[in-house]
Amino acid sequence: MKKLNTLFTLLFLTFNLFAKAPKNQYVRIKTSYGECIIQLYNETPKHRDNFIKLAKAGFYNGTLFHRVIQNFMIQGGDPDSKNAKPGQALGEGDLKYTVDAEFRDSLFHKRGVLAAARDNNPKKASSASQFYLVEGKRFTDGQLDTLEQTRLKGRKIPPAQREYYKSVGGVPHLDQNYTVYGEIVSGLDMVDRIAAVKKDDKNRPLQDVPMTVSLLSKKECRRLDKILSF
């Protein structure tokens, strides 16, 4: 009987452990221009897990948003940006691996998404560390038609995504070329503030914009899952 009770206790604890596990992992990016909270997509597990690994290790803390283009995006995560001298060219730093591309038809470059930077490798594999947050802009039907014929090389933008680009905005010409793997669920105004700063001819802010990146606790993630499910 004692062994049976112990077994039931273990099963109960195991059930509750999994029952309380959050559906999504959320991360916080904090800067002097505010902070945002990002939901990492489960549909892109390689990028999700890589970002979690780096955030947990504190890798991003002290790195800069080193490339900022208004109405487009803000880019950061270059390891060379830590303690970079004023005016130093940035953007070439990385870790010694890449992350396989994870393109999903349902994930697109709408305003507020997190996506992976990369070089011009033929497999479109992502940088291990560099990422960008989309500010974007709104497009007209005519502009989207032109993009389909030119930069998207005939690829049609799905109707629902087209409406989003028209009403909210984004950067549609990057779709299916760079992996989108998360989105801002709170604090999107941080991106707008950073995108508007003064920068040099290489799009590096004249005043450094360092970041700290941290993982939200399981309790915080469960709370956000509940709020965002409504």
Give pLDDT tens digits for 17-76.
455 799 999 999 999 999 999 999 999 999 999 999 999 999 999 999 999 999 999 999
**Higher-pLDDT residue of 12, 172:** 172
Is domain 21-137+170-228 given the CATH code 2.40.100.10 in the classification?
A: yes
The pLDDT of residue 16 is above 70: no
pLDDT in the model for residue 229: 87
pLDDT in the model for residue 205: 98
- Model confidence pTM above 0.85: yes
Residue 54 CA to residue 37 CA, distance in Å, equals 16
Average confidence (pLDDT) over 140-161: 96
